[in-house]
């Protein structure tokens, strides 16, 4: 578990086509809560089981996708530390002032070799609803929708996965928990800065800066089935599942928000420790690695990105 440096994913900013339909999807169906709407029209959401101000930002745009993902660092001094390391690597770093998003302090941002913008920040206000800390019940507000407990991770597509692996492990101090090696080189990587099986992942793709999915953690396998019931009841487009991954061992279902951004809800997965070796899959077993029960890949899963 990280005790210094980068702690965990904090929030992600998604582009959506229809704001109200998106708010309904992420609140009524996935089970988040709306915290506030900014003066620029961006909407801020979180789970009732998260302390920090928000974990999902929705921005109205003409095409779907992800603007950036932000990771929280333990100490304010970590921002200067990682700024120096990123610049020494050769990437440009910019600054975002405190208050650009409500409740969030100053941030730094940079682009990784796969094309995605990554931001780091230290300060986040707390916002309601959030877990109790004195004689706490297991929940404050009765869970609703899919009962998502937190924004958990994101998977991105882009070129230069090899360089992205080097950047995250050598510059940002992540560990590579799993990888897929094909005859022509590295296909995919799963990276963690915590004890989770992954906090972010990348798959090789010819176009840079593509989003595959954002994921929300559920409590257990029964909740994944409950999510499937909700998806069917409200005719939400399902990609695949419920099923299980070989990679990470997570139990999962994939579906799409009203704008076409892929979502995942999942439960389970193994715990990771820094002394664990990287688990490796080869090309002959990649289908089983991604979808353990089906043992073959879904074409839409490979090709649909935003």
Query: Structural domains in the chain?
Result: 6-121 (3.10.180.10), 150-303 (3.10.180.10)
pLDDT tens digits for range 217-254 = 999 999 999 999 999 999 999 999 899 998 899 899 99
pLDDT tens digits for range 126-137 = 999 999 999 999
Return the SS3 of 204: strand
Indicate which residues carry an active-site annotation: 153, 198, 213, 245, 254, 264
- Strand order of the β-sheet with 43-46 is 33-37, 43-46, 56-60, 6-16, 65-73, 117-121, 107-111, 94-96
Beta strands in 24-114 (DSSP E): 33-37, 43-46, 56-60, 65-73, 94-96, 107-111
pLDDT at 231: 98
pLDDT of 2 higher than 80: no
pLDDT of 288 higher than 80: yes
pLDDT of 14 higher than 60: yes
Q: Which of the four pLDDT bands, split at 50, 70 and 90, describes residue 285?
A: confident
pLDDT at 4: 60
Query: In this structure, are residues 27 and 48 in contact, taking their beta carbons and an 8 Å threshold?
Result: no
pLDDT of 55 higher than 50: yes
- Work out the mean pLDDT of the chain and round it to a whole number: 95
pLDDT tens digits for range 252-274 = 999 999 999 999 999 999 999 99
What is the β-pairing status of strands 6-16 and 56-60? Answer: parallel
pLDDT tens digits for range 145-194 = 999 999 999 999 999 999 999 999 999 999 999 999 999 999 999 999 99
pLDDT at 1: 47
pLDDT tens digits for range 136-148 = 999 999 999 999 9
pLDDT of 283 higher than 90: no
- The angle at the Cα of 32, spanning 115 to 7, to the nearest 5 degrees, equals 50
Over residues 196-225, the mean pLDDT reads 96
Q: What percent of the chain has pLDDT over 90?
A: 89
Beta bridge partners of 262: 256
Tokens representing 241 are: 């599942």
Return the SS3 of 119: strand
Q: What percent of the chain has pLDDT over 70?
A: 99
Q: Which of the four pLDDT bands, split at 50, 70 and 90, describes residue 3?
A: low
Over residues 68-88, the mean pLDDT reads 97
Q: In angstroms, what is the C-alpha Rg of the chain? A: 18
Q: Which of the four pLDDT bands, split at 50, 70 and 90, describes residue 298?
A: confident
pTM reported for the whole predicted model: 0.96
Query: In this structure, are residues 102 and 46 in contact, taking their beta carbons and an 8 Å threshold?
Result: no
């Amino acid at each position: 578990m990280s005790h210094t440096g980068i702690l965990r994913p904090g929030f992600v900013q998604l582009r959506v086509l229809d704001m109200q339909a998106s708010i309904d999807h992420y609140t009524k169906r996935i089970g988040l809560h709306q915290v506030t709407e900014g003066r620029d029209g961006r909407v801020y959401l979180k789970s009732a089981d998260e302390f920090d101000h928000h974990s999902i930002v929705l921005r109205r745009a003409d095409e779907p996708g992800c603007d950036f993902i932000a990771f929280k660092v333990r100490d304010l001094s970590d921002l200067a530390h990682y700024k120096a390391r990123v610049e020494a690597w050769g990437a440009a770093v910019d600054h975002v002032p405190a208050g650009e998003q409500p409740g969030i302090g100053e941030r730094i941002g940079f682009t990784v070799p796969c094309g995605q913008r990554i931001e780091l920040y230290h300060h986040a206000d707390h916002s309601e609803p959030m877990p109790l800390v004195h004689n706490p019940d297991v929940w404050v507000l009765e869970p609703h929708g899919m009962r998502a407990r937190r924004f958990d991770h994101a998977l991105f597509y882009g070129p230069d996965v090899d360089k992205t692996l080097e950047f995250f492990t050598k510059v940002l101090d992540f560990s590579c928990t799993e990888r897929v090696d094909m005859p022509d080189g590295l296909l995919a990587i799963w990276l963690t800065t915590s004890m989770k099986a992954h906090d972010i992942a990348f798959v090789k793709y010819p176009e840079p800066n593509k989003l595959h999915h954002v994921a929300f953690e559920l409590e257990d396998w029964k909740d994944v089935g409950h999510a499937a019931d909700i998806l069917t009841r409200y005719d939400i487009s399902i990609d695949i599942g419920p099923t299980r991954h070989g990679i990470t061992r997570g139990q999962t279902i994939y579906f799409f928000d009203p704008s076409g951004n892929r979502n995942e809800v999942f439960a389970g997965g193994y715990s990771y420790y820094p002394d664990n070796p990287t688990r490796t899959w080869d090309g002959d077993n990649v289908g089983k690695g991604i979808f353990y029960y089906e043992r073959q890949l879904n074409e839409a899963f490979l090709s649909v990105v935003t």
